[in-house]
Structure 1
Amino acid sequence: MAESLIRARAPLRLGLGGGGTDTSPYAETYGGVVLNATVDLYANVTLRPCEGRQVALHLDDRDITWRGPAEGALPLGGETDLLKGVYNRFCAQFNGGQGLALEINAHADVPPGSGLGTSSAMVVALVKAFDELFQTRMSPYDVAHMAFEIEREELKLNGGKQDQYAAAFGGLNFIEFGPGDGVLVNPLRIAPEVVAEIEASLILFFSGVSRESARIIDEQSRNIAAGQTESIEAMHRLKEIAYRMKQALLRGRVAEVGEILDEGWVQKKRIASVISTPGLDAVYNAAKDAGAIGGKVSGAGGGGFMMFIVDPRKRRQVMRALDAQPGHVFASGLTQGGAMSWRIGDDLRKAASLAA
């Protein structure tokens, strides 16, 4: 008999404009907007029944495993908390607080601390997998909202809201946050030839430095809460830039997108002192000197991935300049699909009975 499995995946995202305005307390106070695009790099999850009353959690890309009894909520604390948080939420909400005998494998297509929203995409992929398990038929808004609650409220991990919604919906989206708690996802209808031009112009570069986004976001949030004028004004400018970038994309002006990225990066560095580093500045300057129109660090900053928009005719010379820097160019294209799940083999809902 075929093994019974559920798989799920959620795409990672590039933050094109407005990043940081989705974080607290700025979003709730002033209202934030973010323009992002998902790429064909994913957070990946597999669920399968586990023999006996056991839970086995594996972070395959980091060679980390946790095992314990399936006797209700799993104890938090450690590298597998993202997996435990989703497991605990679904057991509490949909399984009467009873544990599930499950083995969960998870891995991402990029290193941790990439700045591509990897942790949130992993939570979204896990929610989609458990949604398939329990057949709860959650909408993308439901998936993103639950992932946000698990990550930010239940696990107390600092960050914004854009990553969960980008992973759940997929594609190029202009997302509005607040004022207050509301979220509105506006998919952008970009002509296929414009998408192709973006892909021809886009270079992703992994700096080789993973970073802890929570520390950066902590400083950013403290500056906003303290009413630091420079940080707040920089946030306002980032929001304005997101609107301008939206118009540039809708009109197919890809070179202008690069120019706006360049301006956004200048504003982003005003928000907190740890967003850029001498190493990131060296990479950025090398790309610009080789002909890149503009670029920025994806995510909170401090390391991870950088993106650049180039004239496709200068693509090779910019890539050669980046090859001389620590890190490496990553091949990737845009994707329209959001988080998805699917079954292999027998109905996995019998997993619940293994824990009874």
Structure 2
Amino acid sequence: MWVCARAPSSSANLGPGYDVLALAHDAYFDVVCVRPSEETRVVKVTGEWKVPLERNSALAAAEEALKRLGGKGVEIWVHKGVPPGRGLGSSGASAAAAVKAVELLLGKSLSPEEAVMSAAEGERLVSGAAHADNVAASYLGGLVAVTYDPFKVLKFEVAEVELYVVTPWHEVPEGKTGAARSVLPEEVKLRDAVKMVGGAAAVIKALTSGDEDLLAKAIEMDPVVTPARSKLIPCFEEVVKAAKGGGAKGVTISGAGPSLLLVGGGAEEAKAAWERCGVKATYKKVKPARGSSAVPPPSLG
């Protein structure tokens, strides 16, 4: 009998909070189901999006959770609702749901840090780095901040703000997240680091207080990651300009991109700008989502 958990999509970084901040939202969801087996493996992938059976974040996450909880093996069914390669935490959602499903199957719970570290092994498998921001948001819900040395996960309750995710549907290369990490500098100037730290603090304050104007300014306090990754996104400058002309107060890249996160409006104008560049695009108004939770198996009929 399958035991299943659902986890939401997320937008990581939120401008200046590279690998630290992420927000879970209700744009999309993944469901991962598990059942006892001698060997841990992904046996099927269903849903709107196709991802590999072998190099799947749910596999590594489940293996790590089983190791920490003293379980044996599981068969894994991944039902993909979060589109891969769009900067919306697709692999993180699968990993977080896998960890929660293993916990539910065994009737045991990991600490938040152990659960997030387990899920981060899924990110290591698919992107080469065990970054924990997306998986922490998808597992815990709301706004999260992650520290790595020592490892700690902080969760914040989020006030109401107007947010949109705009997604272009051009082809992206395999291993897009790894490629997006490779364009970043190994060293940053002290003044840039200071700006990013201040910006990350302002993002937390804005999201927890509902200060939309502060949030719009804060997500753009990133002189390092956003400029580097913007070059990988077609028509980035034109889209941002159109979004702001249409009412967006602030714009940043969602995770590794190419989706954009908009504060206050401008989504229709951003979509139209991408389409003028020959790139199909869609948008969703999003709200903060709660974390991973038990659900029935997906209906395939």
Q: TM-score, normalised by structure 1?
A: 0.69
**Is the contact between residue 294 and residue 309 of structure 1 (CA under 8 Å) also seen in structure 2?**
yes
Q: Deviations over 1:82-108 (max 9, x none)?
A: 233234435555567x544x3x22133
The structure-2 alpha-carbon separation of the partners of 1:84 and 1:256, relative to structure 1 and needing over 3 Å to count, comes to: closer
Please name the residue that 1:337 is paired with. 290
Q: Report the alpha carbon displacement of residue 336 of structure 1 after superposing the two structures with TM.
A: 4.2
CA distance in 1 between counterparts of 2:73 and 2:269 reads: 55
Distance 2:225 2:255 in 1: 10
- Is 1:109 paired with 2:84? no
> Judging changes above 3 Å, is the alpha-carbon distance between structure 1 residues 315 and 125 closer, same or farther for their aligned structure 2 residues?
closer
Partners of 1:343 and 1:290 in 2: CA distance? 41
When residues 135 and 284 of structure 1 are mapped into structure 2, their CA distance, relative to the original with a 3 A threshold, is same
Q: Match for residue 121 of structure 1?
A: 93
Structure 1 residue 147, shift from structure 2 partner: 1.4
Q: Give the equivalent residue in structure 2 for 1:170.
A: 141
Residue number among 155, 178, 182 corresponding to 1:214 in the alignment: 178
Greater helix fraction, Structure 1 or Structure 2? 1
* Corresponding position: 1:160 with 2:158: no
The answer (yes or no) to whether the contact 2:6–2:295 under 8 Å persists in 1 is no
Q: Which amino acid aligns with 1:116?
A: L
- In the other structure, the counterpart of 1:69 is none
Matched position secondary structure for 1:132? helix
Output aligned runs, 1:179-258, within 5 Å: 180-188=149-157, 190=159, 195=160, 198=161, 201-209=162-170, 210=172, 212-220=176-184, 223-224=185-186, 228-230=187-189, 233-258=191-216
* Counterpart in the other structure of 2:103: 131
What is the aligned partner in structure 2 of residue 310 from structure 1? 264
> Whose Rg is larger?
1
1:354 corresponds in structure 2 to: none
Equivalent in the alignment of 1:6: 3
Q: How does 1:55-74 map to 2 (within 5 A)?
A: 57-60=43-46, 61-63=48-50, 66=53
SS at match of 1:85: helix
Gaps of 5+ in 2: none
Q: Could you report, residue by residue, the CA deviation over 1:251-294 in whole angstroms, capped at 9, with x for unpaired residues?
A: 43213322333343x54334x46754342233222212333222
Where in structure 1 are there 5+ consecutive unaligned residues?
23-32, 67-77, 345-356
Amino acid at match of 2:44: H
Question: What CA distance in whole angstroms lies between the structure 1 residues aligned with 2:73 and 2:210?
Answer: 51
Determine helix, strand or coil for the equivalent of 1:269. helix
* CA distance in structure 2 between the aligned counterparts of 1:8 and 1:337, rounded to whole angstroms: 12
Partner deviation per Cα, 1:132-178 (whole Å, 9 max, x = no partner): 111122233331122124543x77722522112111110133x1415
| Distance (Å, rounded) in 1 between the aligned partners of 2:69 and 2:188 | 46
Letter in 2 for 1:203: Y
Verify the 8 A CA contact 1:159 1:214 in the aligned structure 2. Answer: no
Provide the secondary structure at the position in 1 that maps to 2:249: strand
Please give the residue correspondences for 1:37-56 in structure 2 after superposition, counting only pairs within 5 Å.
Answer: 37-40=23-26, 41-48=28-35
The C-alpha deviation readout for 1:44-99, integer Å capped at 9, x for no partner, is 1123467x989652222445675xxxxxxxxxxx443x233234435555567x54
Contact 2:168 2:280 in 1 (8 A): yes
Is the 8 Å Cα contact of residues 251 and 262 (structure 2) preserved in structure 1? yes
- Give aligned-pair identity as a percent: 21
Give TM-score scaled by structure 2 length: 0.79
Root-mean-square deviation over aligned CA pairs: 3.3
CA contact (8 A) 2:188 2:224 kept: no
Please identify runs of 4+ aligned residues in structure 1 that moved more than 6 A: none
Question: Aligned residue for 2:250?
Answer: 294
Amino acid across the alignment from 2:4: R
Q: Distance in 2 between matches of 1:170 and 1:108?
A: 18
Cα separation, 2, equivalents of 1:55 and 1:8: 17
